[in-house]
Amino acid sequence: MERRRFLAAVGATGLAGYAMRRPTATELSSFQEGPSIGLEPVVEGFHEPLAFQTARDDQLKYVADKHGRVFVRDGDGLREEPFLDVSDRLVEFSSWEQGLLGFELHPDFERNGKCYVRYSAPPDDSIPEAFNHRFVLSEFRAGADHRRVNPDSERVLLEIPEPGGNHNSGAIAFGPDGYLYIGVGDGQSGKGDRGTGHATDWYWLNEGGNGQDVTENLRGSILRVDVDNRADGKEYAVPDDNPFVGEEGLDEQYAWGFRNPYRMSFSRGDLYVGDVGEGHVEEVNKVVKGGNYGWNVKEGHRCHNNRLWMAALAKTPWFEKTYPICPDETPDGDPLRDPVVAYPHYREGERVGNAVVGGYLYENETIPALRNKYVFADLSGRGSGLFVATPTEDGLWPMASVDVTTGLDMENRFVLSLGRDGAGELYVLTTQFTEGSGAVHRVVPSK
């Protein structure tokens, strides 16, 4: 029987009630008792700080606020005049996931003064009428003292039409290769992250999704571009070894299969991406070039939006062979790569988290309990909202909560991002979602 007629017939029987299978223990990171740290205030007075950079041997500290401004703290304290202000270029927020979402200094910033900003701009005639806003990635140049950007120096590198107000990612980071890596969310939620603004993909059960598309748009992916050169009429060049150069697919793509890669970083040359989940699981991926990280076929280790009656049909050999229910690879044989960290929204009835915030591998000796551990957060996590995961050679990394014992009361405070200075020390950016409550704290030993 034709697949469409067969599914319609089954649905007509009333068996199409749908449920998402909760992950089993083997599909989640084990949870352990974690270390204690202190948090030392560095700079305060923001609204929602979400990016942190340093320059001149950490003497200059830059903090980007989601509401459109970047400030700098120097030896005299926090400067009142913004380093950069794009607040007048932002779309009127229809979602918390809009605004100034990424900020990064060029690797040679101290010589060339270049910095990069990812923000949500209003719609214009260049995007479909039903779409919500524009993804904008721009370059700016600072003056010789690195304390103020020339507001007229903006060079727009990339614009992407965004169908919805959420799943906008925003993370940008320079890799050790000197190229800029750009996180792009899948564009919008609703209807299982498919529908308007989503491409048709190969996985029949979820009816398409940008994470599995590599030819029609750049959403649901990590991009990799060369901002120091221009080619093919674009304000950037594409590295020759990007996966789809000379192949079918959009050349900017570096890795794909993401839902909302909100924060990402490089540690020891490896790229770590925290991908915000939907139903039950948050995940961190160790990303390789050309990797497919599963969304919206999988969330963590399990299939997304699987149906109970489909699970039953999977026991029928001919059906599973013809219409794979929960594949581990694409039709071309490319594997759907599993995360290194996966944790549930609830554990034994207690809230663990809801939206992962990617962090950094801590490599310093200052805090021995964190040494060689991946430090990350969850926007609405339990306790401090901070976690660590211990790398292993295979399988999921065991994780643990981090207890903040000195320096800051984390009650009603939320972690938006983590940062790292030139010396490798870590910083935690928090807010209470009110003007002036946002702050940056250095991670220090507990007392």
Q: What Rg, from alpha-carbon coordinates, does the chain have?
A: 22
pLDDT at 317: 64
* 8 A C-beta contact, residue 259 and residue 300: no
Tell me which H or E stretch contains 11.
Answer: helix 3-12
pLDDT at 33: 84
301 part of a folded domain: yes
Backbone angles phi, psi at 174, to 5 degrees: -80, 135
187 part of a folded domain: yes
Q: Which two tokens stand for residue 192?
A: 């299982």
Backbone angles phi, psi at 70, to 5 degrees: -120, 130
155 part of a folded domain: yes
Residue 297, domain CATH: 2.120.10.30
441 part of a folded domain: no
Domain range for residue 297? 20-26+57-349
| Strand-pair category, 155-162 with 172-174 | unpaired
Backbone angles phi, psi at 111, to 5 degrees: -100, -45
Instruction: Determine whether 5 is exposed, middle or buried from the number of CB atoms within 10 Å of its CB (0-12, 13-18, 19+).
Output: exposed
354 part of a folded domain: no
pTM of the model: 0.92
Nearest 10 degrees: Cα torsion 277, 283, 285, 291: -40
* 8 A C-beta contact, residue 301 and residue 23: yes
Q: Is the dihedral of CA 242, 245, 250, 256 positive or negative?
A: negative
* 8 A C-beta contact, residue 169 and residue 181: no
Q: Is the dihedral of CA 6, 8, 14, 20 positive or negative?
A: positive
273 part of a folded domain: yes
* 8 A C-beta contact, residue 446 and residue 408: no
Residue with tokens 């089954």: 10
Kindly write down the DSSP assignment for every residue of 318-333, as one continuous string: HHHHHS-SS-SB-TTS
pLDDT at 12: 30
What's the structural domain count of the chain? 1
3-state helix, strand, coil in the chain (%, to 5): 10, 40, 50
Task: Of 421, 437, 418, give the one whose Cα is nearest residue 429.
Answer: 418
- Residues of the chain with confidence (pLDDT) below 50: 1-20, 308-309
413 part of a folded domain: no
